[in-house]
Structure 1
Amino acid sequence: MIEFIVNWAIFVLGKLGYFGVFLLMGLESACIPIPSEAILPFGGYLASSAYEGTRLSLPLVIIIGTLGGTAGSIFAYYLGAKGGRPLVEKYATKLRLSKSHLEMSDNYFNKYGEKIAFFSRLLPIIRTFISLPAGISKMNFNKFVIYTFLGSLIWSIILGYAGYIMGENWEVIRSWLHIADYIVIAAVLVFIVYVFAKKRKK
């Protein structure tokens, strides 16, 4: 399934160029799991050499990728802000969420929202979904946009430039980042187990 999505993303980029970069990065940041680990490195590769007649500019790939990621994040934020909170509150009991859990989430985003929005954009998997809970917790919108943009910019620079340097070997980057995916998943699972064990102990 992932390979199909990656191949589709490459096809879209090859055909649509800059608009494809914006579209795919927007979808990835709107909670649709299209890996930016394929989009940006391939965009960087297209800046280093032509692919089926398509040749892009690396600075534009980075800028447009950042704008697309920010736009998708804003969409997910509003989705969470408008419809997410009532839905979570409605099914809170079934999800084993108490009022204190929701308040804790709100407090985290109020206190550390800038750091969460910024650093989550640099983490595989988490970057795709973080905007939704930010919206649900009604994080300050202006701060959300600024720090999301900055985090997305750094991510776009790193992956776009890596693809530019690697050239035809850009896919190696994706295999490297798969390791980072597993690390993030393992860290999240360990955290969940820790919280569950602590709650059981109490």
Structure 2
Amino acid sequence: MTTPLIMAADPSTLGAFGQWAVDVMGQLGALGIGLLVAAENLFPPIPSEVILPLGGFAAAQGKFTVVEAILWATLGSVVGAYLLYGLGRLLGHDRMVWIADRIPLVDSNDITKTVNWFHRHGPKAVFFGRMLPIFRSLISIPAGIERMPLLRFGVLTTLGSLIWNSIFVMAGFLLGENWDIVLQYADILKYLVIAGVLGFIIWWIVSKVRKHRSLKHAHAAASDNMSMDEAREIVEGLES
């Protein structure tokens, strides 16, 4: 008679999603980890910070090996990332510019700056982005929009995911029944990332509002012969 998966885990710690993840792993083994991680890439609210330590704990109980857990989790990460990469390619650069021009405070110049930044730092963004909550999934979309070579994207995604997955699976493996300790540190990292994102959004909105007001003032003060484009050049010159 086989023992239930993670039978020593506290159900109150698992929660509804955690219990579902346990059931999936119990039915499918290490393959279940891969499927769950692939789903997490497509739906970021699904927490890999729960899936991976649980997988490590299951490996510690002998349900499968820790190597299998890591490899299947990484395969799931790559599959999910490629699906989002494909979404980015379907969206494309021109559609992004079209969308940006219709969003308040955003213009095509913002897209150009983002594209230039991604061309300079894209490989680092994809690699390190795989080790950050929220960005783990989202970084695949701009990579697809800007058509990063498939092989390069795959290698960077695999390496970054392998590091992230190994850390969390091994933590669950080594901590055993205390695997949920990992969640405390994962939450700290998640909150730091969220705070950084919110700080950037606030800074971006403030800078855009100030630029918009400066542009209006410059245009109002300009002579009748000065075009809006010339006024914009004045404002951008003052900002540079």
TM-score by length of 1: 0.89
SS for the counterpart of 1:4 is helix
> Shift of residue 34 of structure 1?
1.5
RMSD of aligned C-alpha atoms? 1.9
- For 1:101 and 1:21, locate their aligned partners in 2 and report how far apart those are by CA, in whole Å: 38
Partner of 2:45: 33
For 1:68, the equivalent position in structure 2 comes to 76
TM-score (norm 2): 0.76
Does the 8 A contact of 1:31 with 1:129 survive in 2?
no
Match of 2:177 in 1: 168
Matches within 5 A, 1:175-190: 175-190=184-199
Larger radius of gyration: 2
The question of whether the paired residues in 2 share the 8 Å contact of 1:37 and 1:177 is answered with yes
RCO comparison, higher one (Cα < 8 Å, 6+): 1
Look up the match of 2:20.
8
Code of the residue aligned with 2:108 in structure 1: it is: K
Consecutive unaligned residues of structure 2, counting only runs of 5 or more, are: 1-13, 212-240
Q: How far apart, in 2, do the equivalents of 1:46 and 1:65 lie? A: 13
Question: Which letter does structure 2 place at the counterpart of 1:92?
Answer: A
Q: Distance in 1 between matches of 2:103 and 2:75?
A: 34
2: distance between equivalents of 1:61 and 1:67?
A: 10
Structure 1: which 5+ runs fail to align? none
Provide the residue aligned with 2:215 in structure 1: none
Cα deviation digits, residues 32-68 of structure 1 (max 9, x gap): 4211111111111011115xxxx11001111111111
The equivalent of 2:151 in structure 1 is 142
| Structure 2 residue matching 1:94: 3-state secondary structure | coil
Could you tell me whether the CA contact under 8 Å between 1:121 and 1:155 is conserved in 2?
A: yes
* Percent identity over paired residues: 38
Contact 2:44–2:134 under 8 Å retained in 1: no
Match of 2:45, SS state, is coil
